[in-house]
Structure 1
Amino acid sequence: MTEAAPAPKENMGAPLPRIDARLKVTGQAPYPADFAAANVAYGVLATSTIARGSITALHLDRARAVSGVLDIISAGDVGSIDKPKFGNTGASSIGPLHDTRIFHDGQIIALVVADTFEAAAEAAMLVRADYAEETPSAGFDSKGAETEAAAGKSPMFKEDVKAGDFDAAYAAAAVKIDQKYSTPTQHHNPIELFSTTAMWQGDQLTVHEPCQNVTGWKAELARQLKMDPANVRIISSYVGGAFGSKGPMTARTAIVALAARRVGRPVRCVVSRMQAFGTQTYRAETRHRIRMGADRNGRISAFGHEGWEVTSRPDPYVVGGTSATGRMYDYGSVLTHVSIVRADRNTPGYMRSPPETPYVYALESAMDEMAVALGMDPVEFRRVNEPQKEPIGGKPFSSRSLLQCYDQAAEAFGWSRREAAVGSMRDGDWLVGMGCATAIYPTSVAPCAARIRLTDDGQVRVQCGSHEIGTGVRTVAAQMAAERLAVDIGKVSVEMGDSALPPAPVSGGSISTASVCSAVLKAADAVRARLFAAAVAKGGPLAGSGNEKLDMQDGKVVAASGRSAAIAEVFKSLQVGAIEEYAEFAPRGSTGQALKKLYAGESEFHGGEQDKDSVKYAFGAEFVEVRINSYTREIRVPQIVGAFAAGRIMNTRTARSQLMGGMIWGISHALHEATEIDRRHARYVNRDLQDYLVPVNADIKKVDVILVPEVDMEVNPAGVKGLGELGNVGTAAAIASAVYHATGKRIRDLPIRVEDLLA
């Protein structure tokens, strides 16, 4: 074992290498824009240069005159397709070519199609629009922005959670804080650009596009194109980074499909990185007010969390992280309220740990401020307020290993060497600070289907319409099948990322491993049952062992008495060469329509705080050391340690990779990442990787991930909690607290930059 492949502890799977690793590192993994299509034409988008108003005239003559241009699709050309829907499957209700209204900067105003990419790009640059421009609202504090209560606006956020009498408890508290925090707009910048390749064969449409929800996209695209979903196929075998951005489908997909139909040949549209800022989703800008009251012994008696979030004019996208923050600690009383602020911006969307990252940043920063006000160690303060049950509904946690995470992370980090006094730790010219924070993410699972085929030579094929977005789900699905069928993982192949396969939910919300592995487990157990029945039947190789407990080991069916039969023998008795089983998994508590909705591309999420018997969360504790130059105020993060408990860990290598990546992203949230907005024109300014700052290797030093053993079979049959989104939830708050510990400056607005510490 190595640091990259931690030795498994209790309830953890082996750190096997990814089964598709060789394909990825040798460039053989088939990403959607690499698909070889015969006679392909190229599409390039033209986008608006204003954020609010309407198009009065569109000048296309110069663009059409470019040699090789085949077609230009613009407003008035898309009447044959329905407008997109906003929701889990659709990124926005804005149909950019259905009318001439402009809702945001960078909105699609035309798609140019040409024989070559160069011709299409040249022509797109020559598209000119005349506008009736109106003054836009960029977001918070902008004239014309509309603020309204968020509760009930989205099915993902039904109510503002509350418990007890907050006002009375806060008024009576011996120690109080009342502070405001903010997080900026942040944009997904996956290395793989957004793209669509659409091709028709008669009335059959195939789309190759990086996607986190092929089943859902199939249904939504068919609805927009007024087609039978059976005639639509979405293929996305591999995704080169998504983080939520490729979960809901944008309007581009249907437009490119329409273009391919019009020109009678495949059309490929690869969106430039600059255009992606206006045509894809992003993390919403947020503001927070936290009020907290406690007694002199550190027991919290009142917690109030108000949040404000920017969304677009048409779509009520709600982040709504108070569902998690309101259940984090033993508060005594809770009062929360979330508002959305409608502005002239494109619609936000899911970005890794969508509600928790901004909302827990505010909560955990406030926890550090209260610990300072009380003169308590921040870890001890959290220990004092550890709940026995969640404070809103009084339900127990299915499991909660948070204190174990704090104990193990604190020891590995060296928290005991922290000097409590602000600014008391130095190393030459460097001020040293230490901070910590809690990570939390709801444990959810969704209906999923899988097919398993076992042949007489022990080869296994697993099929599921889930997606390999970099998390290693192909590998853990193979591990589950190999484990249940007792074959070497080298004999297991996994097919994913195709809507023609058994349907799966969206690959987001940290549900993929739990949902897919539960379906694979069910299918594998059905194969086992057929093998066992055949083995003990009359004429079978284990006839007479029907009353014994049977298992599979090393490619054999094994009876409790010690008798065994190779898989090939069992197949011989069956007189077949393969066994195939199709399984549909629906979580406990699913509605009677859950599986029907799965096939229709709609995912029923179960878990988190929704279940009636218990609340289900994964937890972690993160510790950060920062060093700040006493002269230049440059910030360094030499050490970060995170300990996480997430039920069964299917593969310690892929789990560590996911958590480490999340923690590094947390450093980005805290110190680098922000989309800068021209408030006068509601335009994004830094629309490239030169000016949109993210960490590079030189920014990242020692990152330690500790996997804390935890068993929780309440969450799903696989016992998996999911952890892909957990790692970056607490990092920014831990860094902000460490910056305060080093300098005495409490920076509440992210990102923290040199100029904040020089002020």
Structure 2
Amino acid sequence: MTHDITTPDTGPADRASAVLGRPHPRLDGPAKVTGRAVYASDAALPDLAHAALVTAAIPRGRVAGFDLDAARAMPGVLAILTHRDLAGAVRPVKHLMEGGWANSSHRPLDSDAVAYSGQIVALVVADTRETAAAAAARVGVAYAAAPFAAALDDPGAETVRLADLKPAHRDPRRGEAGAAFAAAPVRVSGRYETPVQHHNPIELFTTLCAWDGDRLTVHEPTRHVGALRHGLAAQLGLDPARVRVRVVCGPIGGHFGARLALSQHTALVALAARRLGRPVSLVPSRRQCFTIANHRPETRHDLRLGADRDGRFTALVHEAAMGASRFDAFAMEGTDVTASLYACPAIATAERAVRLDRNTPGPMRAPPEVPYLFALESAVDEMAWALGLDPIELRRRNDTAADPVTGRPFTTRPLLRCFEAGAAAFGWSRREARVGAMRAGDWRVGFGCASSARPVKIAPASLRVALTPEGGARIETAHHEIGNGITTLLAMAASEWLGVPVGTVSVVLGDTDLPPAGLSGGSSTTTSLMHTLERGCATLRARLAARAVAPGGALAGADPARLILADGVAAAPDGRRADLAALVQGLAPGSAGTVAVFVPEGSGPDAWERTRTGRLALGQTEGALAWAFGAQFAEVHVHALTGEIRVPRLLGAFAAGRVLNPLAARSQLTGGMVWGLGSALLEETQVDRGHYRNPDLAEYLVASAADAPRVEAVLVPDEDERVNPPRPQGPGRTRDHRGQRGDRQRGLPRHRAPGAAVADPGRGDAVAMAGWLPEQDSNLRQGD
């Protein structure tokens, strides 16, 4: 069930032609539910061989030897590769968050060293997947074990300040928080912990590599084909002038942080394919996916909160520690959000990474803020109890229009509107604060609430948009469909901005042969791509208008700025109409399509170059904090005799900018709440003696349909003029078009042309595609 508080303005003045802002089913949905969608491991190539992994059975040490005879003797086994074969074959690259491309800098077959349990120690290739798996099981490995530390309190765990691990990190602080806490009339303090948790997408972490002479094609589910392409080329020492690397990523069967960038196993499969002279596919087991990809690490939070008798915060001290690997300078962090969420005059934070003998963690279901906000919101609720205040009222008294640490204003601050809307829809007024006062038979009933927050990110991107002779459109970009509905949203936007039916728009994503774009994540996908598409559509509208009003044109003499494109026609104010397909066919050769490049205002001077070469280039609004907000509500039942927990109802009210497709936004929001339920009550990876002991869906518990309660999403309007100032109107425009935050489409801020752009007077575009092979786009000149 969902609710809209209001229906914001959603499109052109001609409401009948509005597409954005109205619910639209997923265009890619039918292919997924009928099995016609082609995933990476579905690619059927001639003479395909299959790989299987052998992973380390000790947490730390070295490989002392192999017994490969039994495996090699199996019919159909083609190769068994170990560090003896591949040492030095894979060159080092940095972690994505350190300016590189990889989800981990670790190279598993580079030596006999074992850095963690589950590390790849051998790759077996055979004619069939079943033979490869059986042979991998027969590979004997002898180890020389070494002391290890795999949990925060293990002897040998190395605790370091996050600022020492990551030089750019700063611990937010303001005033003298220690003294302020000691003097606070009301104080709460506690330790809050979250466990190790793992992604368990239905699609496993597969890869397929095929060589064709000097061309390497990789089929792999990834949220950043650019990072995989450029990073893999660097790992294999390939000269881009001689060897072409293409990465293809179709639909992704589960992402949200799981498929960060370049994987450790991709280079190994590519090397095996080159040695054998035939394509090689790897489909790892689910158990192996716990160690060959990233995960959410355990976190520990010591949090102290002080307030005056009126409930206004006077001190916040948040000290956090999180697990990290020995070999990557990467750790999840989040006190930048907890320090800025509420008004407080004295704040101190300190984050530490605990370096362990485990694989490198990473984003999980995107935000690193999840465990940090869990700790803060738990402390806020304890403070409400200590003060005898309603938890929403306490949050109201500590609301702030500016970041208390830096003084920067929020572009919008709809947190309390979310609480008001959510409380009304949830029935918060029925809450009885006394312990045990709310019951349903033997069940004790409780109502709870918490704040949600997520900083808005935006990144450079490029795409190709073209009108087809039949009156439709085609959009192409190297971005990805990770399940957030971007395919549908791009088609909806092109439909509204170009006046073509949604069903006539084709969207092609996830291929490095397409115009480069950034990482699909960080709540930046839609914000970035909608800017880019709007720019391309504006160029095409101008061309169509010029053709229509030219002497002899169907709308000759009309004001091009007042033309309306809708329903496959161009209409002039005097009532004359021109068929869109006919206008397209009358355009000069090559001018029915354009490549648009968007670089956000305030991006660094190398932002576009970083994007083009597959490096991270996420940015934020300058001079202010642009955040999405929400208010979560839960009804929880605890059995008085058994302690069993049930959650019959969840409700969330969210302000995430203008909602461009309410159907997709609601799906994400309700799905996120079910994920939160699973994270809080079910999901936990058991770490024992350096091993993950429940690496399967039988013992790693995720929320199922039987666990999912009644879930409601309330959409709260949040037009953000700071992030998304009004845009000048142009041909075919009747109003400024705005997006919504993050993957739920925050907004379209001002953009500037990249510094490396060159103008093509014949097309009137600005493009910046240095290093792009000319044959990839017939509309680009050799010099572009």
Do they superpose with TM above 0.5?
A: yes
- Deviation track 1:248-293 (CA, whole Å, cap 9, x = no partner) reads 2221000000000001100001010011111111001100011111
Shift of 1:378: 0.1
What residue in structure 2 maps to residue 729 of structure 1? none
What residue in structure 1 maps to residue 95 of structure 2? 86
Tell me which moved more, 558-567 or 236-245.
558-567
What is the root-mean-square deviation in Å for CA atoms of aligned residues?
Answer: 1.9
Matched to 1:333, the amino acid is A
What residue in structure 1 maps to residue 616 of structure 2? 603
Tell me which moved more, 258-267 or 506-515.
506-515
Please tell me whether the aligned partners of residues 711 and 719 of structure 1 are also in contact (alpha carbons under 8 angstroms).
no
What residue in structure 2 maps to residue 187 of structure 1? 198
What residue in structure 2 maps to residue 739 of structure 1? none
Tell me which moved more, 442-451 or 87-96.
87-96
SS of match in other structure, 2:163 = coil
Aligned ranges 1:354-433 → 2 under 5 Å: 354-433=367-446
What residue in structure 1 maps to residue 134 of structure 2? 122
Q: Equivalent of 1:133, from 145, 158, 177?
A: 145
Please tell me whether the aligned partners of residues 418 and 434 of structure 1 are also in contact (alpha carbons under 8 angstroms).
yes
Give the distance between the partners of 1:653 and 1:426, measured in 2 at CA.
35
What residue in structure 2 maps to residue 103 of structure 1? 115
Alignment TM-score, normalising by the size of structure 1 = 0.92
Please tell me whether the aligned partners of residues 526 and 581 of structure 1 are also in contact (alpha carbons under 8 angstroms).
yes
Shift of 1:153: 2.9
Matched to 1:625, the amino acid is E
Aligned ranges 1:285-364 → 2 under 5 Å: 285-364=298-377
Please tell me whether the aligned partners of residues 552 and 558 of structure 1 are also in contact (alpha carbons under 8 angstroms).
yes
Shift of 1:568: 3.2
Q: Equivalent of 2:23, from 9, 12, 15?
A: 15
Please tell me whether the aligned partners of residues 683 and 700 of structure 2 are also in contact (alpha carbons under 8 angstroms).
yes
Matched to 1:85, the amino acid is K
* In the alignment, structure 1 residue 221 sits paired with structure 2 residue 232: yes
Give the distance between the partners of 1:707 and 1:304, measured in 2 at CA.
33
Pair 563,164 (structure 1): closer, same or farther in 2 beyond 3 Å: farther
What residue in structure 2 maps to residue 757 of structure 1? none
SS of match in other structure, 2:675 = helix
What residue in structure 2 maps to residue 613 of structure 1? 623
Please tell me whether the aligned partners of residues 456 and 578 of structure 1 are also in contact (alpha carbons under 8 angstroms).
no
What residue in structure 1 maps to residue 175 of structure 2? 164
Pair 179,725 (structure 1): closer, same or farther in 2 beyond 3 Å: farther
Shift of 1:456: 3.4
Please tell me whether the aligned partners of residues 462 and 493 of structure 1 are also in contact (alpha carbons under 8 angstroms).
yes
- Deviation track 1:84-130 (CA, whole Å, cap 9, x = no partner) reads 43224311111110011111000000000011112211111111222
Uncovered stretches (5+) of structure 1, i.e. residues with no partner: 727-759
What residue in structure 2 maps to residue 750 of structure 1? none
What residue in structure 1 maps to residue 75 of structure 2? 67
Q: Equivalent of 2:659, from 649, 661, 678?
A: 649
Q: Equivalent of 1:154, from 137, 158, 166?
A: 166
Shift of 1:536: 2.2
What residue in structure 2 maps to residue 537 of structure 1? 550
Give the distance between the partners of 2:559 and 2:431, measured in 1 at CA.
63
Please tell me whether the aligned partners of residues 460 and 600 of structure 2 are also in contact (alpha carbons under 8 angstroms).
yes
What residue in structure 2 maps to residue 37 of structure 1? 45
Give the distance between the partners of 1:118 and 1:721, measured in 2 at CA.
45
Give the distance between the partners of 1:152 and 1:499, measured in 2 at CA.
36
Aligned ranges 1:512-661 → 2 under 5 Å: 512-546=525-559, 548-574=561-587, 579-607=592-620, 611-661=621-671
* In the alignment, structure 1 residue 48 sits paired with structure 2 residue 52: no
Give the distance between the partners of 1:7 and 1:708, measured in 2 at CA.
7
Shift of 1:548: 4.9
Give the distance between the partners of 2:679 and 2:600, measured in 1 at CA.
34
Shift of 1:561: 4.5
Tell me which moved more, 249-258 or 51-60.
51-60
Aligned length: 719
Give the distance between the partners of 1:355 and 1:364, measured in 2 at CA.
15
SS of match in other structure, 2:275 = helix
Alignment TM-score, normalising by the size of structure 2 = 0.89
Give the distance between the partners of 2:211 and 2:684, measured in 1 at CA.
40
Please tell me whether the aligned partners of residues 183 and 358 of structure 1 are also in contact (alpha carbons under 8 angstroms).
yes
Q: Equivalent of 2:489, from 476, 479, 495?
A: 476
What residue in structure 1 maps to residue 768 of structure 2? none
Q: Equivalent of 1:719, from 727, 735, 739?
A: 739
Shift of 1:576: 5.0
Give the distance between the partners of 1:179 and 1:554, measured in 2 at CA.
60
Matched to 2:739, the amino acid is G
Uncovered stretches (5+) of structure 2, i.e. residues with no partner: 11-19, 726-737, 747-784
* In the alignment, structure 1 residue 26 sits paired with structure 2 residue 38: no
Give the distance between the partners of 1:266 and 1:422, measured in 2 at CA.
64
Give the distance between the partners of 1:158 and 1:405, measured in 2 at CA.
31
Pair 5,410 (structure 1): closer, same or farther in 2 beyond 3 Å: closer
What residue in structure 1 maps to residue 756 of structure 2? none
What residue in structure 1 maps to residue 256 of structure 2? 243
Shift of 1:6: 11
Give the distance between the partners of 2:77 and 2:6, measured in 1 at CA.
58
Shift of 1:664: 0.2
Please tell me whether the aligned partners of residues 484 and 743 of structure 2 are also in contact (alpha carbons under 8 angstroms).
no
Give the distance between the partners of 1:629 and 1:135, measured in 2 at CA.
44
Give the distance between the partners of 2:525 and 2:596, measured in 1 at CA.
16
Shift of 1:77: 1.9
Please tell me whether the aligned partners of residues 471 and 584 of structure 2 are also in contact (alpha carbons under 8 angstroms).
no
SS of match in other structure, 2:592 = strand
Pair 723,595 (structure 1): closer, same or farther in 2 beyond 3 Å: closer
Shift of 1:540: 2.5
Matched to 1:422, the amino acid is V
Please tell me whether the aligned partners of residues 536 and 596 of structure 2 are also in contact (alpha carbons under 8 angstroms).
yes
Matched to 1:638, the amino acid is P
